[in-house]
Amino acid sequence: YQLYIYVVLAALITWWMQQLYEQRQTEIKIAGNSPDFFSSGYYKKEMDLQGLPKSVLVADKMQHYKSDGSTHLEKPMITLYNPDAEPWVIQAEKGIMAADGDHLQLNGHTVINREASKHASALKVTTSDLRVTLSKNYAETNAWAELVSPPNITSGTGMEVTFVSPIHLKLLSKVKGRYEIE
């Protein structure tokens, strides 16, 4: 009987150690896919070489993932500053900043605003799924976009925007417009 007791005891210890090992592996997998740091009320300001604001990024929540270096944002709002012009303000439902800190994918309903100035009228662009390259002050989307510069409205599918002078905004296909002439 003593031999049977040792065999059963060895089997129980082996089973218990296997359970601990599997639990530890599960914890490691969960930790690998979890954020390594987060923030509520996220704020980031970038300056140019002259010490003037270049861009400001704010978000309700931010989560950084070590596994791919991405930063996930809830309700991000980015302000892009231009000398001698009103800033561009881009708001979205969600966003993902790539590890390089240069490529920002804005997902869901996205709105781009620029207030009126002496040299340009106000502009509001409504679209979705916007890809922004911060170093080039450039954005693009394959989705539908609507441009409103009161009283004019233009819409189309696909858009490319350059936010610095010379400002360039291009709708790519199925473009329709309504213009009021005084």
CA-based max dimension of the chain? 105
Q: pLDDT per residue over 96-137, tens digit each? A: 999 888 898 999 999 999 998 887 788 899 999 999 998 888
Neighbours of 139 (CB within 10 A): 26
Nearest to 60 by CA among 95, 28, 16: 95
Task: Report d(CA 109, CA 146) in Å as an integer.
Answer: 12
Q: pLDDT per residue over 55-89, tens digit each? A: 899 999 999 888 788 889 999 999 998 877 889 99
- DSSP 8-state secondary structure symbol assigned to residue 136: G
Query: What is the pTM assigned to this prediction?
Result: 0.75
Q: pLDDT per residue over 30-59, tens digit each? A: 555 666 778 888 999 988 888 888 889 999
Q: What is the DSSP string of 98-116?
A: -TTSSEEEEEEEEEEEE--
Residue written as token pair 């300056």: 47
Question: For residues 60 and 91, is the Cβ–Cβ distance under 8 A?
Answer: no
| Alpha helix segments (H runs only) across the chain | 2-32
Q: Degrees (nearest 5) of the Cα angle 65, 45, 34?
A: 10
Nearest to 86 by CA among 111, 118, 57: 118
Residue written as token pair 């329709």: 176
